[in-house]
A and B are shown apart, each in its own frame.
Chain A
């Protein structure tokens, strides 16, 4: 994707910037210039305002990807889901910070900001939304495993930065 095209889409990819029809109040993502729901489309002309989605949502369908798209090789297998937002639009996005076998229909998620792809080692890096479970419940407490005592420094253990 060209830099210019991605840059134009930054508001929607970074901040879930959609649009809302002031005539019928329907919300659209990606944003639309004309409302397809209003029977006479001209009714919505000049009445489409920017609208930012909350980032909340619920998985209504998903698939586990084993044959990745270019740039996603390090994340296989990963979940790609359809997420219905409370504002109405259904978004497609990767669900991260969860084991693929734990993804299910009805899972509540929220948008998170992640790296989408890189244009090679020297090219631009593209960022945007993915989804993560809403309540990322901490795993069992392992804090007790941390040693209370502090050993004396070793020759290899001093790097401070």
Chain B
């Protein structure tokens, strides 16, 4: 496969809340919950941020880093489970906001937490078929858990944008495979404000089965072993699932270090694996191999076998903020402000 990542950008909102603070409200050992989940802060979007604004910020960074004319973009796909409109594409607003309109195709993707990786696969196809010069795949979310639900301790906000092309590729995608089944582990029905999930069922038959099978399958196709990779990134609904699945597959903590971001910013859903990949690319060196395995409830996994090219040394990673800045930064807020920002306070009226 000649196509790959030409540029990338990530964005995480400024505010943070801790599991301890959330637990105080619901009479739960929040600190213990944080340790159990390995999530110690999660990001919170401002009242004026949503999937559209987060996607736009991430893509603007990617365009600036790559020095790419937005008019050269032939496709923009935004993967999210929190598109602001049920009907009206996120991707059209993002395209307009970065100056890419009108000569491009655009659409929204939804596949729980793996819509962003599905968008990357689509862009690889379009670029590989020479239908577009550059395709953009974005994973972005501002998802919520119901008040007091376990998801409330991890569901956060963030986004990452990847520009896929054939020229000046900094990370070549050598192989990609998927693994998909009908597994009802997590869902949100039309019109429902918060998602539902099946508790422990989201573990073994869902996340672990799909991620493990997909990871093994791509290593079979690529004739690689865990030792072939300098970095590995898994979908990370919390900090413990990716760590555990990584160990089960034979990866070390050092290989997982840069790809694991959820402990610091929470579960950014469609962006989780992609912000992890962005952090890996912030640190990657030419010749290194990277394995990415996304996961989306419902359920499916997409895996990517990636090789970092020499062009990454000529790529300007100083533009915009590195992912580390988002992991380290942020301003913590109390639950009351979090509830106000996330619209959890009923203000009267209908």
Contacts and interface: CB of A to CB of B under 8 A. Distances in A.
Nearest to B299: A160
Interface in B31-90: 33-38, 40-41, 46-50, 52-53, 56-57, 60, 81, 84-85
B269 A155 contact: no
Nearest to A99: B331
Contacts of A155: 199-200
A111 to B, nearest CB: 10
Given A15-B99, A146-B263, A151-B240, A157 B47 contact: no
Given A127-B53, A139-B330, A160 B297 contact: yes
A127 B95 CA distance: 13
A161 B264 contact: no
Interface string A106-136: 0000001111100000000101001000001
- Interface centre among B34, B47, B154, by most chain A C-beta atoms within 10 angstroms, is B47
Interface string A50-63: 00100000000000
A154 B99 contact: no
The size class of the interface chain B forms with chain A is 35 or more
A96 B97 contact: no
Nearest to B113: A161
Contacts, number: 148
A75 B47 contact: yes
A156 to B, nearest CB: 4
B139 interface: no
B47 A74 contact: yes
Given A150-B240, A150-B243, A160-B295, A139 B329 contact: yes
A69 interface: no
Contacts of B202: 158-161
Given A139-B331, A146-B263, A159 B40 contact: no
Interface stretch (B162-170, B221-229, B281-289, B320-328): B320-328
A125 B97 contact: no
Contact of A161 (B36, B47, B197, B263): B197
A115 B145 CA distance: 22
A114 B329 contact: no
What is the interface of chain A mostly: helix, strand, loop, or mixed? loop
B93 interface: yes
A10 B85 CA distance: 18
Interface in A14-28: 14-15
B315 interface: no
A149 to B, nearest CB: 8
Given A114-B49, A136-B321, 11 more contacts: A96-B48, A113-B60, A116-B48, A136-B14, A139-B329, A147-B263, A157-B33, A157-B150, A158-B200, A160-B186, A161-B267
20 contacts: A74-B341, A97-B46, A113-B56, A115-B52, A127-B52, A127-B93, A127-B97, A138-B329, A145-B40, A146-B40, A147-B34, A147-B38, A150-B244, A152-B36, A157-B36, A158-B203, A159-B145, A160-B197, A161-B151, A161-B197
Interface of B: 14, 33-38, 40-41, 46-50, 52-53, 56-57, 60, 81, 84-85, 93, 96-97, 99, 112-113, 143, 145, 149-151, 153-154, 185-186, 195, 197, 199-203, 206-207, 237-241, 243-244, 263-264, 267, 269, 295-297, 321, 325-331, 340-341
Closest 7 pairs between A and B when the two form their complex, measured CB to CB: A138-B329, A160-B202, A74-B47, A160-B207, A114-B48, A156-B150, A113-B56
